[in-house]
Amino acid sequence: MLKALKPKTVDLIPVSLGEHIKRKRLELGLTQKEAGRLLGVTSFTVTNWEHGQRNHAIQHFPAIYQFIGYDAEPPTSDALAERLVAKRRQVG
């Protein structure tokens, strides 16, 4: 009898940026090590981000947004200050 691990579902509704990263990683079928290589960080950093144990450094935001394909924290209003903060995050 063959046994295998149950495939992880991607039904996660992301709230935090770490959950967005985890969802995309699972959709792509990547390990944390592979995702870390794409993001320019270690697998331990990806683990900490996914578990909410570490904040994201501003220089990693461009790679994160490119990896997930969108801005996970868009501005909540059209106020200039919020748009500037979002743009700064986007460019790192």
CATH code for the domain of 78: 1.10.260.40
pLDDT-flagged residues of the chain (< 50):
none
pLDDT of residue 38: 95
Is 7 a domain residue? no
pLDDT at 3: 72
Those residues with Cβ within 8 angstroms of residue 48's Cβ, 6 or more apart along the chain or in another chain:
54
Q: What is the pLDDT of residue 9?
A: 57
54 falls within a domain:
yes
Residue linked to tokens 């996970």: 72
**Overall pTM > 0.95:** no
Would you say residue 2 lies in a domain? no
3-state secondary structure of 77: coil
46: domain range? 17-91
Beta carbons of 70 and 36 less than 8 angstroms apart: no
Total domains in the chain come to 1
User: Considering the domain boundaries, does residue 39 fall inside one?
Assistant: yes
